[in-house]
Amino acid sequence: MKRYFETYLREWKERKSRKPLIIRGARQIGKTFTIEEFANNNYTNLVKLNFEEKPELKDFFKTNDVVDIKQSIEVYFSTKITEETTLLFFDEIQQCPKAIVALRYFYEKLPKIHLIAAGSLLDHTLNDMKYSMPVGRVEFAYMHPLNFYEFILALGEASLIEYLNNYSIDKPISLPIHKKLLNLVRLYYFIGGMPEAVNEYAETKDLTSVERIHESILKSLEYDFSKYGTRAQQEILVTLLKYIPIGLGRKIKYVNIDQNHRSDAIKLALKLLEMSRIIQLIKSTKANGLPLEQGVDDKIIKPLFLDIGLANHILKLRLIDIENLTTINEGSLAEQFIGQQLLSNLPEYLDSQIYYWVREAKNSAAELDFVTEINNQIVPIEVKAGKTGTLKSLHIYMKEKKLKKALRFNSDLPSLMTVSANLRIAKEDTEVDYDLLSLPLYLALESKRLVLRK
């Protein structure tokens, strides 16, 4: 199973300023598999320490003498760790915080060693570190479930990816190809991007087996709750795990989640889920200028789930007849799909940097699904499940912010148009004009390129 993340790892390997790399991401998204594949393709030797499988290996890190640590590892594994041909891999490093501290000394004293670390609940460990973090001595990268391209590549549709990579807005897409790609988007909605589920479907085309895998993954995520939450918190975490897929695309209101728990307890549980990378909290921003983070309102947030396939499993949608399965969640599923692709399309060294915009004003309330930055320009994004839909909120945003370029995703064929609209804001009539790039959902991973070229 090909992961584009390997390209980033190869760039890291060749970089002169390379530092020990810590890879962060949720459980079962393929971190270990991808690192091992990278090692097999780029090194003659892989030395892997899994601190969860072999907790006794923690004893090597009683001191920060990395020369001694290296020698101990070589003796234990009966191998030599050479500078250019060996990849040293610390897996489940959250189980050994002292190994995280040791990364600093590997960088300072053995800088030519190629060293990667990964862990599923790593953010919790980093947040609670009792030891000095190796700030400036390590670098981070972020992994996600398979994106749409990786998904269709696993299904043997490499020619479609090449086609989309070379698509330009002035070139028409034939209806048969358009329909085929929309059907694959639909398939991705329900299978999702968890590697085990995708691999199972690619090999068997058995949707029942996919459902079993989804259930197993979700149970393992629930099992992890005992590792980072109190008993009281575990109850809220389970409640949130079931609520978030229902609330996709909507502002989080604590009272709608569970009236039996205080808002501060729910807020903490949401943070724990985010640290586990099971959810991503998309923050609202005033979007008055760059950086978008400067205008963030932490009190107005909406959730994005780890994976669209897992979200649909929680919603108890049986995968019997996907093509004819119509849900009441079509709009929120389209938004989850786009959000998942936008996250996976960020540079690997950046954590979440997508936002949304909302104005809760009487008689002129408005909301945009996403706001992001492309080439130092603010790009507002509207997502529609079907071919049509009102653009009133986008009109209001474009008028208020005085912007001239916007992006829309829907199920229609691509188009580039100039929008001219009359609207009423705060009892006043006004006009707005802007360029709208409208792309089908399956072109989400090409949006940055197409926005820059349009």
Q: Identify the sign of the CA torsion 177, 322, 201, 352.
A: positive
Residue 198 has pLDDT above 90, yes or no: yes
pLDDT score at 132: 65
Secondary structure of residue 298 in the 3-state scheme: strand
Sorting pLDDT into bands at 50, 70 and 90, what band is 324?
A: low
Sheet of 114-119: strands edge to edge?
45-50, 86-91, 114-119, 21-24, 139-142
Q: Identify the sign of the CA torsion 90, 94, 99, 100.
A: positive
pLDDT score at 454: 57
pLDDT score at 18: 94
- Half-sphere exposure of 434 toward its Cβ, with a 13 Å CA cutoff? 24
Secondary structure of residue 409 in the 3-state scheme: strand
Q: Among 164-178, 380-394, 429-443, whose mean pLDDT is lowest? A: 380-394
Mean pLDDT of the chain: 93
CA dihedral 256, 261, 264, 267 (to 10 degrees): -50
- Strand (E) positions, 250-363? 279-285, 296-305, 355-359
- How do residues 408-431 score in pLDDT, each as one tens digit? 999 999 999 999 999 877 678 889
pLDDT score at 438: 97
Which burial class, exposed, middle or buried, applies to 443 when counting CB atoms under 10 A from its CB (0-12, 13-18, 19+)? buried
Q: Give me the residue spans of the domains in the chain.
A: 5-142, 148-280+301-344, 356-453
Q: Which structure tokens are listed for 259?
A: 């009236």
More confident residue, 329 or 33: 33
Sequence-distant (≥ 6) Cβ neighbours of residue 232 within 8 angstroms = 265
- How do residues 207-262 score in pLDDT, each as one tens digit? 999 999 999 999 999 999 999 888 889 999 999 999 999 999 999 999 889 888 89
pLDDT score at 386: 86
Are the beta carbons of 83 and 18 closer than 8 angstroms?
Answer: no
Strands 296-305, 279-285: pairing is antiparallel
Query: Superfamily assignment of 5-142 in CATH?
Result: P-loop containing nucleotide triphosphate hydrolases (3.40.50.300)
Sequence-distant (≥ 6) Cβ neighbours of residue 99 within 8 angstroms = 49, 51, 58, 61, 90, 93, 117
Question: What whole-number distance in Å separates Cα of residue 366 and Cα of residue 10?
Answer: 44
Question: What whole-number distance in Å separates Cα of residue 327 and Cα of residue 330?
Answer: 6
Average pLDDT value for residue range 75-103:
96
Q: What is the pTM of this model?
A: 0.94
Question: What whole-number distance in Å separates Cα of residue 175 and Cα of residue 178?
Answer: 5
Q: How many percent of the chain have pLDDT more than 70?
A: 96
